[in-house]
Homo-oligomer: A and B are copies of this chain.
């Protein structure tokens, strides 16, 4: 049995019971306590259960309190980009936050600011709801449970009702030929709405996506004011020659 299978079984087992010991789980999964401990550590890091001394406890609301986005928490590149992006946010700003994992990483660098955040991302909502200095405006519409974000026409209408100083967005691909591209149309319509209604558009994009193209072409390069990336000069010169302002993180 592999980690994913065990993870599923552990979480299922915790649906029924309040808590389980390492040894109980070892017996249920027919694995050694050492493996269970490693698993529990990993799953707890994802925020889907609470690690206790000797076992694990069920998480009351795993969906909103713990997230797959945390998977990127130990990605130093995304973290650097996020920190650089957050440095452009000033007290008093009204900002749009998109629902990508790099944008999500900005949260921890925003907690000391006095700002208003407009977002369609539930992880961001959960992360910032406890910060008194941040006002949250939640974008309404159909909930996409897999992405833990709100999408659809209604959401676009909602965004159109606001103007923000800055929008922080992500993409799946970025190139001089095709501009901004995304995997899914649902997300690209939201991102397009953010672009349309923001004074400044900041694109957070790690080196791996530069020069790559994805499925939906949704915006020109000129729509972006600043690209924040970890890519080196070699990769960004072409973009800069197209008039894009590039900020290197790290």
Residues of A within 8 A of B (CB): 2-5, 8, 18-19, 50, 52-55, 57, 60-61, 63-68, 122, 125-127, 129-130, 135-143, 145, 148, 150, 154-155, 157-158, 161
> Is the CB–CB distance between B52 and A2 below 8 Å?
yes
Give Cα distance in the complex from A3 to B138, angstroms.
34
Report chain B residues within 8 Å CB of A68. 60-61
Give Cα distance in the complex from A118 to B155, angstroms.
14
Report chain B residues within 8 Å CB of A143. 125, 129, 135-138
Chain A interface, >50% SS class: mixed
Contact check: which of B4, B55, B138, B145 meets A50 at CB < 8 Å?
B4
Across the two chains, which residue of chain B brings its CB closest to A1?
B19
Q: Which 10 pairs across A and B sit closest by C-beta, in order of nearness?
A: A140-B140, A136-B143, A2-B52, A4-B52, A61-B126, A140-B158, A64-B126, A61-B66, A60-B66, A63-B129
Given contacts A5-B57, A52-B4, A125-B143, contact A63 B138 (CB under 8 A): no
> Is the CB–CB distance between A138 and B137 below 8 Å?
no
Give Cα distance in the complex from A126 to B148, angstroms.
11
Give Cα distance in the complex from A150 to B141, angstroms.
13
Given contacts A143-B137, A154-B161, contact A53 B3 (CB under 8 A): yes
Across the two chains, which residue of chain B brings its CB closest to A152?
B137
29 contacts between A and B (CB under 8 A): A3-B52, A4-B19, A4-B50, A4-B52, A5-B18, A5-B19, A5-B52, A8-B57, A60-B68, A61-B66, A61-B68, A61-B126, A63-B126, A63-B129, A64-B66, A64-B122, A64-B126, A65-B65, A136-B142, A136-B145, A137-B154, A138-B140, A138-B141, A139-B140, A140-B141, A140-B154, A140-B155, A154-B161, A157-B161
